[in-house]
Structure 1
Amino acid sequence: MALVGAALVLSACAPGPNPDVGTPTADGSPAGFWLGLWQGIIVPVTFVISLFTDTVNIYEVHNNGNWYDFGFVLGLGLFVGGPFGASRGRRHS
């Protein structure tokens, strides 16, 4: 019973489909890998700005799908130091 309850709670957190995937932006094309990479790198600055204005979002919903998502996550990973960023901090002698 607890397992079923946990599965229901976790499934409620799952994201839904993005109906704007593949639809063009104002310039006529959906955001792709390179824009996703750039927006992932600048996400800390964009997040702070988005707290004070409704015209700035940290994620472009008009994207081409998986390639934009991959670039976004890769850019975010580059910002935080990649998978080994935390392990390079201190050396024990």
Structure 2
Amino acid sequence: MWWQDLLWGIWNGLTAWIVLIVHVFGQWSEFPFYNTARAGNWYDFGFLLGMGSPVLGGLGARRSRR
């Protein structure tokens, strides 16, 4: 179902920052950074939302302080 792909994409996008840092140090090789088995339009959209949400949240917080 499309909403499951979207939710998995958001979840994997949010946790991708942690997985990326762990991958840099050579650990956790059995967990992929991007789940190619779920690749599709809704998963990709959710992944981008999840990856971008910490960045966009930080930009919004910085603007409100000014």
Scaled by the length of structure 2, the TM-score of the pair is 0.71
Structure 2 distance, partners of 1:44, 1:89, is 24
Larger radius of gyration: 1
Structure 2 distance, partners of 1:80, 1:58, is 18
Give 1:50's aligned residue. Answer: 23
Structure 1 distance, partners of 2:20, 2:52, is 16
* Unaligned ranges ≥5, structure 2: none
Structure 2 distance, partners of 1:64, 1:45, is 20
Give 2:5's aligned residue. Answer: 32
Scaled by the length of structure 1, the TM-score of the pair is 0.53
Deviations 1:13-60 (A, max 9, x none): xxxxxxxxxxxxxxxxxx711010011111111112223232121110
Runs of 4+ in 1 over 3 A off after TM superposition: none
State the identity as a percent: 33
Structure 1 or 2: more helix by fraction:
2
* Unaligned ranges ≥5, structure 1: 1-30
Alignment RMSD (CA, Å): 2.3
User: Which one scores higher on RCO, CA 8 angstroms, separation ≥ 6?
Assistant: 2
